Chains A and B, each alone.
Chain A
Amino acid sequence: AQTVTQSQPEMSVQEAETVTLSCTYDTSESDYYLFWYKQPPSRQMILVIRQEAYKQQNATENRFSVNFQKAAKSFSLKISDSQLGDAAMYFCASFNQGGKLIFGQGTELSVKP
């Protein structure tokens, strides 16, 4: 079975600072994909960043980067220079050969001005 765990229900960061959101996952498959999705209060879920499991290099997307530790099955998201617009619920998700996108429980990020 495929599981995704986010152990931080809530996080807070000061504007312009850096914050790291944690995620661990469990899968028996060798080929899979990991994602961070963002859901702002307006509700529309958008993709923040993706990582292919076969790639050793950590994905980056502007101020967003991941720390992918395959052996530890860890996939954390780092947000640098946090902005007020980064406030949202962040979901870690995995996608594997079953063709299902499975989400973690989410981390609600607040950004303080």
Chain B
Amino acid sequence: DTEVTQTPKHLVMGMTNKKSLKCEQHMGHRAMYWYKQKAKKPPELMFVYSYEKLSINESVPSRFSPECPNSSLLNLHLHALQPEDSALYLCASSQDQGTSGPRAGELFFGEGSRLTVL
């Protein structure tokens, strides 16, 4: 199983809503990532979890709140978002966050959750 599964695929929410994006992998990976991607642009790193602990937060606004309940699951809680937060949110996983070895930097991506904030 080499899949990263993201739900929901599409989400429309108002600026006062609270919603969550979910990501799941069963590859035994110990690093998980959230990226934000605007149309025709590269993914921008938001958060990295390594062994279920937050290791990188790229100065993301607090209206985005990540959570890693266990090694297979990654959530992104959304609250009081702005219209400019509308984007494709990609989850990815890798063997670990190691910076050397045959799998270093090799990320497996999900299909993404398309978020629209009204």
Contact = CB atoms under 8 A, between A and B. Distances in A.
Interface of A: 31, 33, 35, 42-47, 50, 89, 91, 93, 95-106, 108
A100 B31 CA distance: 11
B111 A96 contact: no
Contact of B45 (A31, A89, A100, A108): A100
B62 interface: no
A97 B104 CA distance: 10
B107 A47 contact: yes
Contacts of A102: 45
Interface residues of B, number: 26
A50 B97 contact: no
Contact of B99 (A42, A45, A46, A95): A95
B49 to A, nearest CB: 12
B55 interface: yes
Given A96-B99, A99-B55, A45 B104 contact: no
A99 B97 contact: yes
A106 B45 contact: no
